[in-house]
A and B are shown apart, each in its own frame.
Chain A
Amino acid sequence: MPREGLTGSRIRERRGVVGFKQAELARKIGISASYLNLIEHNRRRIGGKLLLNIARVLGVEPSMLTEGAEVALIATLREAALDAGLPPSDAEYAEDFAGRFPGWAEAMARTHRRIAALERTIETLTDRLAHDPQLAASVHELLTTAAAIRATAAILAEEPDISDEWRNRFHANINDDSRRLADSSKALVAYLDDDQGGSDAASSPQEEVEAFLSANDYSFPELEAGEASIDDMIDAAGDGKDGGPLRSVAARHIARGVLDRVVRDAAQVPMSRLCDALGGAPPDPAALSRSFDAPVPMILRRLASVPGLAAGLVVCDRSGSLIFRRPLPGFDIPRFGACCPLWPLFAVLGHPGQVMHDRVAQLGRGQAEFDTYAASGTVGNPVYNAAPLVQATMLILPRPASEGAAAGDVLRVGSTCRVCPRDGCPGRREPSILSEGF
């Protein structure tokens, strides 16, 4: 059935949403309930004044009834059918299916999208499965439930003469499994959130340090004020004392380097003076660099610790490996694997002294916008006839929603290639599972 021929189905669905009984709507638009019934079952064409009246009573634009919001739905159903192995000729029945069973079509599309999102999560986590039995069990539960939904949904889609008894049973099964999938997903997200907050699941020295920094909210006022020493901080968090996160020698070594830099940064850019200089205005790292006579990367590190800015920070070495990450909501910083090469962080790597200021949005992450400032600087002492070692630093500041979308250009970047939907990106290292399938 052509899409415009499904106007009746859309009227029926919208009536259900609004909560009108068929007779009630018929009365309001001045036709008989039996005629409305024919319209709703796509057995009578509708247009003109009658369509306008129905749209007015149902509170929608007439085009919503004639064209609907079904284009995306039908595309998703086609995709689901092809993913399920149906031939393209069968996938063309998606439109008909959406017209005859709009509720179930929407449920199937939602399930398909949900499965796609879960598959993406699973791919991201694959590297960890061998090391984390709890995560492995959780993912197994998700996959098993997804398998049950997919097998059942495919039967409903592919078997035209299924009996009412089987159909009802399968609908109930999909309902149960969808609920189970939602619960399992929430449990998995909660588990991963706990992990990010710093837990016993840290599996590398870098993660131990991140857990330590996170537990301190990336802020060490006692250290900055000289009321505690680096050794005090390391001892309090290390060697397994009270379940301290710095369990390994390597983690304590890295943490010592981070804290040492905090002390040096704080000596040159004290937090109280920095807050006074900001005075509640948006940060201007270049101006602050001049004011404090401090390198821009140091200013960026200090700004990341300013209370209330809710900033994120990433630092990479000359190889492009992240050596420091302070996450922030809405901007995905990969825990494993390489980051998107389009980040301004990498643009400044070969250009010490250059400061990049960009408006950035991450593809596929809700498109929240951020202000980023990136700069690099040399590390270590100068050596004759050798390229200097550099580190790049990028400060990530959330833009308040009240400011709306940026008027100028926004740099669209990804998180990591594996989960980036961008087509034709010259920086792509590997195919995305979003386009290549699971």
Chain B
Amino acid sequence: MGKHVLLVEDELNIVEAMRFLLSRDGWRVEAHSDGASAVEVIRGTRPDLVVLDVMLPGKSGFDILGELREDATTADLPVLMLTARGQARDRDMAEKAGVSRFMTKPFSNTEVLNAVRDLMRG
């Protein structure tokens, strides 16, 4: 069984494409679409890496990331933020919140795959 990645993303067709790409790359992929319960799910499933959207129902990706960084058990969890909000201030917010990698939509599949592999090589 490969490494475990959790997609926190409410756009189902993006989830489907990412699931295909990452599964082919040897990842065990799970997805979750609700922001409000995302932190709880991450703590419960303990993925090796999280791909996190920003605009989520219930709670923003920035808030989720902040909570993860405040918790010692998830403080070092690699988080790839994948968002349509690509303005400079969004990138700044993500970096201040402790994002591991920040990418904007629309994205290249190759770039996402490379980012995921890089993050796991750490």
Interface string of A126-165 (1 = CB under 8 A from B): 1001100000000110011111111110110011000000
Q: Is the CB of B20 within 8 A of A166?
A: yes
A144 to B24, CA, bound (A): 23
Q: Is the CB of B107 within 8 A of A151?
A: yes
Q: Which of A148, A154, A169 sits near B14, CB closer than 8 Å?
A: A148
Q: Which one of B13, B55, B84 has the highest number of Cβ atoms from chain A below 10 Å of its Cβ? A: B13
Number of interface residues of B (CB under 8 A): 20
Shortest CB distance A415–B (Å): 24
Nearest B residue (CB) for A157: B109
Q: Is the CB of B55 within 8 A of A140?
A: yes
Q: Is the CB of B108 within 8 A of A154?
A: yes
Interface string of B92-103 (1 = CB under 8 A from A): 000000000000
Q: Is the CB of A85 within 8 A of B105?
A: no
A interface, over-half SS: helix
A144 to B16, CA, bound (A): 14
Q: Is the CB of A150 within 8 A of B107?
A: yes
Q: A140-B84, A146-B106, A147-B105 are in contact. Are A85 and B111 (CB under 8 A)?
A: yes
Shortest CB distance B24–A (Å): 8
Q: Which of A130, A144, A154 sits near B105, CB closer than 8 Å?
A: A144
In the assembled complex, B118 has its CB within 8 A of some CB on chain A: no
- The interface residues of chain A lying within 8 Å CB-to-CB of B55 are 140, 144
The A/B interface has a contact count, at CB < 8 Å, of 68
Shortest CB distance B51–A (Å): 12
A152 to B11, CA, bound (A): 13
In the assembled complex, B120 has its CB within 8 A of some CB on chain A: no
Interface string of A71-92 (1 = CB under 8 A from B): 0000000000000110000000
Q: Is the CB of B17 within 8 A of A151?
A: yes
Question: Interface residues of A toward B: which range?
Answer: 20 to 34
In the assembled complex, A220 has its CB within 8 A of some CB on chain B: no
Q: Is the CB of B13 within 8 A of A177?
A: yes
Q: A143-B84, A144-B11, A148-B11 are in contact. Are A170 and B17 (CB under 8 A)?
A: yes
Q: Is the CB of A150 within 8 A of B16?
A: no
- The interface residues of chain A lying within 8 Å CB-to-CB of B87 are 126, 129-130
In the assembled complex, A209 has its CB within 8 A of some CB on chain B: no
Shortest CB distance B70–A (Å): 27
Q: Is the CB of A154 within 8 A of B11?
A: no
In the assembled complex, A176 has its CB within 8 A of some CB on chain B: yes
Shortest CB distance A169–B (Å): 7
11 pairs from A and B in contact (CB 8 Å cutoff): A84-B109, A85-B111, A140-B85, A144-B11, A146-B105, A147-B11, A147-B14, A151-B17, A152-B17, A154-B108, A158-B109
List the interface of chain B (C-beta within 8 A of A): 11, 13-14, 16-18, 20-21, 24, 55, 84-85, 87, 105-111
